[in-house]
């Protein structure tokens, strides 16, 4: 059973073909990062226009690389939220047109559920239940994945997402966009205990996050050092900032797993590519006797293979969309029910 999927929620135009929900036959990703880099962030209007230019070639490449044609496809999945409305609309419109023309059923996929499902591609034997820590450019959430189609949100960020904090701190440190990977590399050379940055909302069994105070603390530290004309060890700043983010993420994930009685933790979203986070969470899980999973970096950031995986499991239960499917920029996790 082959699923074809499209992902255009932000600044990656991607199409992929996945077999039986788990085997990636192709995963073509056309990244617009170089286009947006000179603006220091994603420019929504440019993103939409680039998606329009890229989407059809990317679909052709995905089918070709998979050795498949449209007639081999059992379901067409597409990200319909959350994300940038104009960007989402490109994928949604094309997927609806393809479905209408071919008669292949259409599946509307939640981007965040897709991020979680990247783990099923990376780990063929992984099955729910587990605790998922979703850490991406726009979201930071703890999700109890009870089954393939059953999710419970335990808590999320009140302000900035983890990835957003990485990108904003990196921007002030004059690192390229998106800053996460650059902070990650710099942090590896610094002392994580050099500067005591705040760990917000670290109370026991609280599953909400807050990263805007941490971001401000780093900016204040850099500004006051600049004013006093002190030398700054940027590697120490990166390492200390990253350690503050990681501490909170790791502690809350383990508490959430304990409270829900699950024995597996999975990492999802772009920040799941962070080497410090993987190392610390891996270590703490091992200490607690919990199995720990994360995807390869290419499956952590936006890609259509994870959407095709999610679409496969919706296809299994007949969770299809009709031609009224619309982009939903602030779609909530687990929002879609069969037949709605
Ligand atoms: P969302 O999924 O919430 O809609 P998004 O799709 O823009 O947001 P992703 O593509 O999942 O976000 O992830 C991009 C984010 O991941 C960026 O903030 C980027 O800096 C961050 N990121 C990527 N690699 C790393 C890394 N190694 N360390 C830290 N952050 C990273
Ligand atoms: Mg992106
Ligand atoms: Fe994403």
Task: Please compute, for residue 18, the number of CA atoms within 13 A of its CA located in the half-sphere on the CB side.
Answer: 34
Number of alpha carbons in the 13 Å side-chain half-sphere of residue 87: 23
Beta carbons within 10 angstroms of residue 59's beta carbon: 25
What is the Å distance from ligand 1's center to 175 Cα? 15
The gap from C-alpha 328 to its chain's centroid, in whole angstroms, comes to 17
Q: Which of 136, 138, 141, 153 to mutate to test the pocket of ligand 1 (most atoms within 8 A of CB)?
A: 136
**pTM to 2 decimals?**
0.97
**Token duo for residue 204:** 């026991």
Query: How far does the centroid of ligand 3 lie from the alpha carbon of residue 271, in Å?
Result: 10
Residue to mutate (ligand 1; options 29, 40, 83, 137; most atoms within 8 A of CB):
137
Cα distance between residue 249 and residue 199, in whole Å: 10
Helix (H) or strand (E) holding 34: helix 33-37
Residue 178 C-alpha to ligand 1 middle, in angstroms? Answer: 8
Q: Is 274 in the pocket of ligand 1 (CB under 6 A)?
A: yes
Backbone φ and ψ for 239, nearest 5 degrees, come out as -65, -40
What the block records as the tokens of 121 is: 């591609």
Helix axes 275-288, 234-260, angle to 10 degrees: 40
Q: Is 108 in the pocket of ligand 1 (CB under 6 A)?
A: no
Give SS3 for 296: coil
Give me the pLDDT at residue 336, please: 61
How far apart are alpha carbons 227 and 207 in whole angstroms? 37
- Are 260 and 130 in contact, with CB atoms under 8 Å apart? no
Cα gap 115→162, rounded to integer Å? 15
| Longest pairwise C-alpha distance within the chain | 67
DSSP one-letter string for 96-110? HHHHHHH-PPEEEEE
Binding residue numbers for Fe cation: 111, 115, 302
CA nearest 28: which of 315, 312, 298, 268? 298
**For ligand 1, is residue 269 a contact (CB within 6 Å)?**
yes
- Closest ligand to 134 CA? 1
Considering only CA atoms, which residue is closest to atom 7 of ligand 1? 137
CA distance 72 to 273: 33
User: For position 340, what pLDDT does the model report?
Assistant: 39
Q: How far is the CA of 317 from the centre of ligand 1 (A)?
A: 30
Nearest CA to ligand 1 atom 1: 138
Beta bridge partners of 77: 5, 107
Give pLDDT tens digits along the chain (340 positions).
999 999 999 999 999 999 999 999 999 999 999 999 989 899 999 999 999 999 999 999 999 999 999 999 999 999 999 999 999 999 999 999 999 999 999 999 999 999 999 999 999 999 999 999 999 999 999 999 999 999 999 999 999 999 999 999 999 999 999 999 999 999 999 999 999 999 999 888 899 999 999 999 999 999 999 999 999 999 999 999 999 999 999 999 999 999 999 999 999 999 999 999 999 999 999 999 999 999 999 999 999 999 999 999 999 999 999 999 999 999 998 776 544 3
* CA 301 to centroid of ligand 2, rounded, Å: 6
């Amino acid at each position: 059973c082959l699923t074809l999927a499209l992902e255009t929620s932000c600044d990656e135009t991607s199409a992929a073909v996945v077999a039986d929900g788990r085997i990636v036959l192709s995963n073509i990703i056309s990244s617009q990062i170089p286009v947006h880099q000179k603006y220091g962030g994603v420019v929504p209007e440019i993103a939409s226009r680039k998606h329009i230019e890229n989407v059809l070639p990317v679909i052709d490449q995905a089918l070709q690389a998979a050795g498949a044609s449209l007639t081999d496809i059992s379901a067409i999945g597409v990200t319909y939220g959350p994300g940038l409305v104009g960007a989402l609309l490109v994928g949604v419109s094309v997927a609806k047109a393809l479905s209408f023309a071919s008669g292949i059923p259409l599946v509307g996929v939640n981007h965040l559920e897709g991020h979680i499902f990247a783990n099923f591609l990376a780990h063929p034997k992984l099955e729910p239940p587990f605790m998922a820590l979703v850490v991406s450019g726009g979201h930071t959430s703890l999700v109890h994945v009870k089954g393939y189609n059953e999710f419970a949100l335990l808590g999320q960020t009140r302000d900035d997402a983890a990835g957003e904090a990485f990108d904003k701190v990196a921007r002030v440190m004059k690192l390229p966009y998106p800053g996460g990977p650059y902070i990650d590399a710099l942090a590896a050379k610094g002392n994580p205990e050099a500067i005591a940055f705040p760990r917000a909302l670290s109370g026991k069994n609280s599953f909400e996050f807050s990263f805007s105070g941490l971001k401000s603390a780093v900016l204040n530290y850099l500004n006051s050092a600049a004013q006093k004309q002190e030398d700054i060890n940027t590697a120490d700043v990166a390492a200390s900032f990253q350690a503050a983010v990681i501490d909170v993420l790791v502690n809350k994930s383990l508490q959430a797993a304990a409270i829900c009685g699950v024995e597996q933790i999975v990492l999802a979203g772009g920040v799941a590519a962070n080497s410090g986070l993987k190392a610390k969470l891996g270590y703490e899980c091992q200490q607690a006797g919990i199995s720990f999973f994360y995807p390869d970096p290419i499956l952590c950031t936006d890609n259509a293979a994870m959407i095709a995986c999610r679409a496969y499991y919706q296809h299994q239960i007949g969770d299809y969309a009709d031609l009224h499917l619309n982009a939903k920029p602030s779609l909530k996790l687990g929002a879609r029910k069969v037949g709605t």
